[in-house]
Amino acid sequence: MGTLWFWIVAAMLAAYVVLDGFDLGVGALLIFVARTDGERQLALKAIGPVWDGNEVWLLAAGGTLFFAFPLLYASAFSGFYMPLMIVLWLLILRGLAIELRMHTQDTLWRSFWDSVLFLSSSLLAIIFGAALANVIRGVPIGADGFFYLPLWTDWRTGLNPGILDWYTAIGGAMALAALALHGALYLALKTTGAVEARAWNTARRLWPIVTAGTLLSIPATVVARPSSLDNYLGHPATILAPLGVAVALAALVVFLRRRDAFAAFLASCGYLAAMLCGAAAGLYPTLLPSTSSAAMDITVQSAMTGSHSLSVGLVWWSLGTMLALFYFGVVYWLFRGKVSESSGSYGH
């Protein structure tokens, strides 16, 4: 049961990254691919009906984590308190930027909120990538199950790292590049004219950066946490994750050359999902590694709630997830096709 819930949480986090990832990517590219007020409004129309719904998966993943692995939830939210507060404020600022931009016709007002959206989206992508790298690298968990991390120490991994070091910086940069590529492909899929053309050009330029970063992340992860290869060496099935990453990156090249926006966007979704599955496969059964001692690791067995609660919760989780999937299916079906300048504030 613990293993099942481990992968449920991983799947929900992957759903958030895939869905809200293109929203963050659009925000991070807004001032580059959309240069006039009309073009920026067109880009925002592409995400307008879905961006807030996509955030539901982050809330649902947090709630599921609290229910299934309360010890991990308590430990992580205490040790990562500062970056979590930063994430909260950035999410608020991103929502304000999208909602308040069109309240007046003033050019300075709109430019200000466009800048806020760009900065908040870019920083969110970087922080999410650094957060994942912190989990993979490990944190200095004490005997009481809690830890504290300063923002940075000497920028090295080891027994007492900071939130930011050379490895988490790579993770943050990788996340920004990957989500920017994801957002560019979404804009190519949903927009027309100059925005679509710039989105295609941006995607072509980002693909080699993402590919190089992916290749760099493998030896970097082994250096930062050598035990991350243990599951791959002991369980041949885990090779499917890096294989999926390679196939997705190769498919992206083909679809970028064909200018097939839908297929390229799906390949980007597959890349993000495979990367996260690969990280989860390398961690299991550890939920949060300790840099001080393997005995201090927070694992599935040590953090999970009671088996009866997990069994009952699985029923309600299944019902809730089916309702959410139905809702998202309806929303994305109604919002299919490209947006246009003549459509309403948020598109169709």
Hey, what are 24's tokens? 């963050």
CA distances to 32, 88, 182, 229, 340 from 28, rounded to whole Å, are 8, 17, 11, 33, 21
CA distances to 9, 229, 230, 280 from 3, rounded to whole Å, are 10, 19, 17, 11
Rg (alpha carbons) of the chain, rounded to whole number? 20
Q: Tens-digit pLDDT profile for the chain (348 aa)?
A: 899 999 999 999 999 999 999 999 999 999 999 999 999 999 999 998 999 999 999 999 999 999 999 999 889 888 898 889 999 999 999 999 999 998 988 999 999 999 999 999 999 999 999 999 999 999 999 888 888 888 888 898 888 888 999 999 999 999 999 999 999 999 999 999 999 999 999 999 999 999 999 999 989 999 999 888 899 988 888 999 999 999 999 999 999 999 999 999 999 999 999 999 999 999 999 999 999 888 899 999 999 999 999 999 999 999 999 999 999 999 999 999 999 876 655 543
- Each domain of the chain, given as residue ranges in start order, spans 2-334
Is residue 248 within 8 Å of residue 270, measured between CB atoms? Answer: yes
CA distances to 40, 104, 277, 325 from 347, rounded to whole Å, are 13, 18, 33, 22
The separation between CA 329 and the C-alpha centre of its own chain, rounded to angstroms, equals: 20
Query: According to the model, what pLDDT value does residue 347 have?
Result: 41
The separation between CA 70 and the C-alpha centre of its own chain, rounded to angstroms, equals: 22
What is the pTM for the complete model shown?
0.94
Q: What is the CATH number of domain 2-334?
A: 1.20.1630.10
Query: According to the model, what pLDDT value does residue 236 have?
Result: 87
Peptide bond into 285 cis (omega under 30): yes
